[in-house]
Structure 1
Amino acid sequence: MKNFLIILLYFSFQLISSAQTQEYYQLKIFQFQDATEMEMTDQFLSEVYMPMLKKKGFKNIGVFKNSITEKDSILKTYVLVPSNDIMSIYNSEQEILDAYPDEKHYNRVNTIFLKAFSHMPMLKPSPLDGPRNERIYELRSYESVTEKSYKNKVEMFNEGGEVKLFVELGFNAVFYAEVIAGDAMPNLMYMTTHQNQESRDQNWKAFVDSPVWNTLKAMPKYQKNVSHIDIHFLHPTEYSDY
């Protein structure tokens, strides 16, 4: 915890002092042993955690649950908090710690801090308004072997045109961001939204078949810049802001 705090303070000094316009995100991932723990955390998040953050001025807080699959069989809740000041997220979190229930209500929690891409500097809540239980939020993490190859992949999204292509194909991205403190670095993460599983599959087929994508991925300078990809299918809770 001490080392993590040192890393966080270092990055916050570097990032805040640079006066960038890009937002920062905190992504908390709660893991549960059973549905009872998840229900207890739901109650805490909806009745205590989110109201306290909103009282401090935080907006567009997303809360999601994972779709259980063979590859993702552990019950999880994802909480995404955006802010233009990374330390405001961290300081608010420390104040809320005193409000956590005394009894155990999750098995473990992982916290990730991110910085928005230059070509999508602000979080955009999904405009979709269909049934929440059908909506697909797809969270992806792209890891790279080296910092150089990682920066190359970030450039591929920004200057290379991946972000633009996702917009043109209607992926309804919520955010694209670089991980600045987490357990899988160097990596980037992004979240897209789809009306349902069928539309998600159609969107990705359009992406894979796109002449723009096939030209981009064949460019020599963008070769071998991703070593591992994690894909998580999520759906919003009833108390999520989107």
Structure 2
Amino acid sequence: MQFGQSEDILHDYFKDALIPALNRQGIENVGAFEETGETLPKKIYLLIPYKNMQEYQDVTDDLEDDTQFQSGSETYQNTPPDKIPFERYESRFIRSSWGFANLVKPGDDLDQFELRIYESYNEDALRRKIKMFNEDEFEIFDNVGLEMVFFGKNISGGQMPSLTYMLAFEDKEKHQEAWSKFGNNPDWQRISILKEYENTVSDITRVFLKSLSYSQI
């Protein structure tokens, strides 16, 4: 986001034009978040779940013919350059895996989120890490109280090759307790030392988010 610039134009566009238009086309549970803390430049995240790439293409094309969307987005589209609230945006496509195939909407009491990006040094390392999740880690997460929202392999964007997933939690204390249980879990300790899963993660990015008032997650 642009430092010192009003964000209202972008929030109104998401809330009153884009998200309702996506809902009309059957896209549910669109998430809208901002980073917690005082990190600059400020970032806003939009999470849009599509069933497949064809649905993404169809929805994108249909937005051009949605007169309600076009009318609702006029203020945003006509904003002059010196008033636009962001510098640039980045899009990332993330493909879910069989172990966690669909986005899961968390309970209303879970409005804090952790976004985690695991980078791998090559594609085979990423394949092995995704296998580790599919066959063991999802079950461990569930057992220790780490609430998954989505998981998938990044197929475009930065930090490639990589996977991304999101966790929802009530507060940081309970979140930390769950991660502590994960580290001490005997199944995790067993699989973490298997030779097959050596050198699968070369870097981890953690981003803490909070849902915006109009978020559907």
TM-score (norm 1): 0.79
Residue 102 of structure 1: aligned partner = 78
Say if 1:124 and 1:175, in contact at 8 Å, map to a contact too. yes
Residue 67 of structure 2: aligned partner = none
Residue 75 of structure 1: aligned partner = 42
How far the C-alpha of 1:35 sits from its partner, in A, is 5.5
Instruction: Pick from 113, 130, 141 the counterpart of residue 154 of structure 1.
Output: 130
Instruction: Pick from 196, 199, 202 the counterpart of residue 221 of structure 1.
Output: 196
User: What is the aligned-residue identity percentage?
Assistant: 26
Say if 1:68 and 1:74, in contact at 8 Å, map to a contact too. no
Q: Distance in 2 between matches of 1:34 and 1:204?
A: 34
What's the CA shift string for 1:186-235, capped at 9, x where partnerless?
10000011111111111111111111111111111111111111000001
- Asked whether 1:120 is paired with 2:106, we answer no
Q: Distance in 1 between matches of 2:117 and 2:179?
A: 16
Aligned residues: 204
Q: Any stretches of 5+ residues in structure 1 without a counterpart? A: 1-31
What's the CA shift string for 1:93-125, capped at 9, x where partnerless?
455576452322311100001111211111100
Residue 201 of structure 1: aligned partner = 176
- Amino acid aligned to 1:223: E
- Asked whether 1:51 is paired with 2:51, we answer no
Q: Distance in 2 between matches of 1:227 and 1:112?
A: 20
What's the CA shift string for 1:111-148, capped at 9, x where partnerless?
00111121111110012x33x7xx32000000111101
- Amino acid aligned to 1:219: L
TM-score (norm 2): 0.87
Residue 22 of structure 1: aligned partner = none
Three-state SS of the structure 2 residue aligned to 1:36 is: coil
- Amino acid aligned to 1:183: G
Residue 136 of structure 1: aligned partner = 112
Q: Any stretches of 5+ residues in structure 2 without a counterpart? A: 65-69
Three-state SS of the structure 2 residue aligned to 1:163 is: helix
- What is the RMSD of the two structures over their aligned residues, measured on CA atoms? 1.8
Say if 1:37 and 1:106, in contact at 8 Å, map to a contact too. no
Give the structure with the higher percent strand: 1
**Deviating 4+ runs (over 6 angstroms):** none
